[in-house]
Every structure is written in structure tokens, then in C-alpha cells.
Amino acid sequence: MLLFWGSAIFFDPVKEFVIGVTNLTSMDKITPFYFVLFGALCLVSFVGVLKMKRLQKAGFFFYLGTQLAMLFLPVVWLNWNAFSVNNTIFTLLFVLIYLSFYRRMN
């Protein structure tokens, strides 16, 4: 969350760094708002995890909704090349783990 917000604040140096370490040749579609949005989604996801820790079922839906948004927002914003199989695998893994404890939540 803090890294996303820091990337929004220091957008120009981050843009140069991203172009240097990835296969992106241009970051025309990525704006500081993109990083702010992802930081906010991380915060909501973290709130969902805290709610699940307190055994509140609403936390599962906070987490699930924000994780799905974080999976598909890059696809909508950039294109299908931005889809991450690794993020999908870890999201499915954690959703299945949290879902196994769903009955115990209030």
C-alpha cells in the first residue's frame, strides 16, 4: 500500500525505473492515479483481512472484492498483457483458505 502511494508521489523516477527493469517501453497509460487506486485497494483488502481475523464474515467479501478488482483492473486499464497468472494463483489460494474458515465466522 505504501509503495503504491509512494509510486504515485514520486511518479517520474518510478516511471524511469519501471521502463528500465521491465519490457515496457512506454508508461503512457499508467498515471499516478493508477498507483493511488491500487494503494486504496490494498488498504481495503487489509481491512478485510483484519475483519476476518476478528471472525467477521464481511471481511471475506471485502477481501474477495478488492482482490478481484486488483486482478482485473490492470487488464481493463492496460490490456490482457497485464494479466498476472501468479497473482491469480495466490488470490485463489488465499480465497480458498479463507473460505475454509467461513463457517466459523460470525
What is the 3 state secondary structure string of 29-85? CCCHHHHHHHHHHHHHHHHHHHHHHCCCHHHHHHHHHHHHHHHHHHHHHCCHHHCCH
Question: What pLDDT sits at residue 30?
Answer: 80
Percent of the chain with pLDDT over 90: 25
- The pLDDT value recorded for residue 86 is 85
Instruction: Summarize pLDDT for 92-101 with one digit per residue, the tens.
Output: 998 898 888 8
Query: What is the per-residue pLDDT for 65?
Result: 93
Q: Please give the single-letter amino acid code of residue 54.
A: R
Q: Is the pLDDT of residue 28 over 90?
A: no
Distances (CA, A) of 25 to 14, 20, 39, 58: 14, 9, 24, 41
Give the H or E element holding residue 97. Answer: helix 85-100
Exposure of 42 by Cβ count < 10 A (0-12 exposed, 13-18 middle, 19+ buried)? middle
**Average pLDDT, rounded, for the chain:** 85
With bands split at pLDDT 50, 70 and 90, how would you rate the model's confidence at 23? Answer: low
When pLDDT is cut at 50, 70 and 90, the band that residue 24 belongs to is low
Whether 78 has a pLDDT exceeding 90, the answer reads no
